[in-house]
Amino acid sequence: MPEFKRTSSDEVAKKIIIARSWAQSARTPILPSELKYTVAYDACRMWCEIVLRAENVRVRSTHGHHAQTIDMVTDFLGDDFEAMRNRLQQARKTRNSVLYEGEIEYVTASIVEDLLVTLNELEAMVMSWLKEKHSDLLPLL
Protein backbone atom coordinates (compact mmCIF):
# COMPACT_ATOMS: atom_id res chain seq x y z
CA MET A 1 0.00 0.00 0.00
CA PRO A 2 1.52 3.33 -1.00
CA GLU A 3 1.74 6.18 1.47
CA PHE A 4 2.52 9.87 1.26
CA LYS A 5 5.91 10.83 2.65
CA ARG A 6 7.70 14.06 1.80
CA THR A 7 11.01 13.59 0.00
CA SER A 8 14.11 15.76 -0.25
CA SER A 9 16.84 16.42 -2.78
CA ASP A 10 19.23 14.63 -0.42
CA GLU A 11 17.11 11.45 -0.44
CA VAL A 12 16.75 11.48 -4.22
CA ALA A 13 20.47 12.15 -4.72
CA LYS A 14 21.39 9.23 -2.44
CA LYS A 15 19.07 6.90 -4.34
CA ILE A 16 20.59 7.99 -7.65
CA ILE A 17 24.07 7.27 -6.29
CA ILE A 18 22.92 3.82 -5.15
CA ALA A 19 21.23 3.04 -8.48
CA ARG A 20 24.36 4.03 -10.40
CA SER A 21 26.60 2.05 -8.05
CA TRP A 22 24.47 -1.07 -8.49
CA ALA A 23 24.48 -0.57 -12.26
CA GLN A 24 28.27 -0.39 -12.22
CA SER A 25 28.43 -3.55 -10.07
CA ALA A 26 26.14 -5.36 -12.52
CA ARG A 27 28.73 -4.73 -15.23
CA THR A 28 31.58 -6.34 -13.26
CA PRO A 29 33.03 -9.02 -15.57
CA ILE A 30 33.95 -11.51 -12.86
CA LEU A 31 30.45 -11.81 -11.39
CA PRO A 32 28.30 -14.78 -12.42
CA SER A 33 25.39 -13.98 -14.73
CA GLU A 34 22.70 -14.61 -12.12
CA LEU A 35 24.32 -12.13 -9.70
CA LYS A 36 24.76 -9.52 -12.44
CA TYR A 37 21.10 -9.95 -13.33
CA THR A 38 19.90 -9.60 -9.75
CA VAL A 39 21.98 -6.48 -9.16
CA ALA A 40 20.87 -4.94 -12.49
CA TYR A 41 17.25 -5.63 -11.55
CA ASP A 42 17.76 -3.94 -8.18
CA ALA A 43 19.23 -0.90 -9.94
CA CYS A 44 16.15 -0.75 -12.20
CA ARG A 45 13.88 -1.03 -9.19
CA MET A 46 15.79 1.80 -7.49
CA TRP A 47 15.18 4.05 -10.55
CA CYS A 48 11.47 3.26 -10.17
CA GLU A 49 11.64 4.15 -6.48
CA ILE A 50 13.30 7.45 -7.40
CA VAL A 51 10.29 8.36 -9.54
CA LEU A 52 7.87 7.53 -6.74
CA ARG A 53 9.90 9.33 -4.09
CA ALA A 54 10.12 12.43 -6.33
CA GLU A 55 6.31 12.36 -6.25
CA ASN A 56 6.35 11.89 -2.46
CA VAL A 57 5.04 8.32 -2.74
CA ARG A 58 6.50 5.48 -0.74
CA VAL A 59 5.54 1.84 -1.23
CA ARG A 60 5.69 -0.17 1.96
CA SER A 61 7.75 -3.36 2.01
CA THR A 62 5.05 -6.00 1.82
CA HIS A 63 4.35 -8.97 -0.42
CA GLY A 64 4.21 -7.70 -4.00
CA HIS A 65 5.80 -4.32 -3.35
CA HIS A 66 8.29 -4.69 -6.23
CA ALA A 67 5.48 -5.29 -8.74
CA GLN A 68 3.48 -2.43 -7.27
CA THR A 69 6.47 -0.07 -7.42
CA ILE A 70 7.06 -0.82 -11.10
CA ASP A 71 3.36 -0.49 -11.98
CA MET A 72 2.93 2.82 -10.16
CA VAL A 73 5.71 4.49 -12.16
CA THR A 74 3.40 4.44 -15.20
CA ASP A 75 1.18 6.95 -13.36
CA PHE A 76 4.02 9.47 -13.51
CA LEU A 77 6.05 8.61 -16.62
CA GLY A 78 2.97 7.86 -18.72
CA ASP A 79 2.53 5.80 -21.85
CA ASP A 80 6.22 6.11 -22.79
CA PHE A 81 6.96 3.88 -19.81
CA GLU A 82 4.47 1.13 -20.70
CA ALA A 83 6.83 -1.05 -22.78
CA MET A 84 9.55 -0.54 -20.19
CA ARG A 85 7.10 -1.55 -17.45
CA ASN A 86 6.45 -4.84 -19.22
CA ARG A 87 10.19 -5.55 -19.51
CA LEU A 88 10.74 -4.70 -15.84
CA GLN A 89 7.88 -6.92 -14.71
CA GLN A 90 9.41 -9.79 -16.69
CA ALA A 91 12.79 -9.02 -15.13
CA ARG A 92 11.17 -9.13 -11.69
CA LYS A 93 9.77 -12.59 -12.42
CA THR A 94 13.14 -13.82 -13.66
CA ARG A 95 14.89 -12.38 -10.61
CA ASN A 96 12.36 -14.12 -8.34
CA SER A 97 12.99 -17.42 -10.14
CA VAL A 98 16.71 -17.01 -9.56
CA LEU A 99 16.45 -15.98 -5.90
CA TYR A 100 13.60 -18.15 -4.70
CA GLU A 101 13.68 -21.18 -6.99
CA GLY A 102 17.40 -21.35 -7.80
CA GLU A 103 16.82 -21.29 -11.56
CA ILE A 104 20.20 -19.78 -12.38
CA GLU A 105 20.69 -21.76 -15.59
CA TYR A 106 18.20 -19.52 -17.42
CA VAL A 107 20.20 -16.36 -16.82
CA THR A 108 22.49 -16.15 -19.83
CA ALA A 109 24.91 -13.41 -20.77
CA SER A 110 22.41 -12.31 -23.42
CA ILE A 111 19.59 -11.93 -20.88
CA VAL A 112 21.89 -9.93 -18.61
CA GLU A 113 22.88 -7.68 -21.50
CA ASP A 114 19.22 -7.08 -22.39
CA LEU A 115 18.51 -6.02 -18.81
CA LEU A 116 21.54 -3.74 -18.80
CA VAL A 117 20.23 -2.05 -21.95
CA THR A 118 16.86 -1.60 -20.21
CA LEU A 119 18.68 -0.19 -17.19
CA ASN A 120 20.48 2.39 -19.34
CA GLU A 121 17.21 3.40 -21.02
CA LEU A 122 15.43 3.64 -17.67
CA GLU A 123 18.13 5.83 -16.14
CA ALA A 124 17.99 8.20 -19.13
CA MET A 125 14.19 8.29 -18.99
CA VAL A 126 14.07 8.99 -15.25
CA MET A 127 16.81 11.62 -15.31
CA SER A 128 15.12 13.43 -18.18
CA TRP A 129 11.79 13.32 -16.32
CA LEU A 130 13.41 14.56 -13.10
CA LYS A 131 15.04 17.48 -14.91
CA GLU A 132 11.71 18.40 -16.48
CA LYS A 133 9.34 17.80 -13.56
CA HIS A 134 11.45 17.95 -10.39
CA SER A 135 14.61 19.90 -11.10
CA ASP A 136 14.46 21.17 -7.50
CA LEU A 137 15.36 17.66 -6.34
CA LEU A 138 18.63 17.54 -8.33
CA PRO A 139 20.88 20.27 -6.84
CA LEU A 140 23.17 17.85 -5.02
CA LEU A 141 24.18 15.96 -8.16
Q: Where are the domains of the chain?
A: 2-135
The tens place of each residue's pLDDT in the chain, 141 residues long, gives: 677 788 999 999 999 999 999 999 999 999 999 999 999 999 999 999 999 999 999 998 888 889 999 999 999 999 889 999 999 999 999 998 888 888 888 899 999 999 999 999 999 999 999 999 999 998 655
Q: How far apart are CA 78 and CA 16, in angstroms?
A: 21
The class level of CATH for 2-135 reads mainly alpha
Q: Residue 125: which region, alpha, beta or left (left: phi > 0; alpha: psi -120 to 50)?
A: alpha
Q: How far apart are CA 19 and CA 36, in angstroms?
A: 14
**Contact present, 104 and 35 (Cβ < 8 Å):** no
Q: How far apart are CA 22 and CA 103, in angstroms?
A: 22
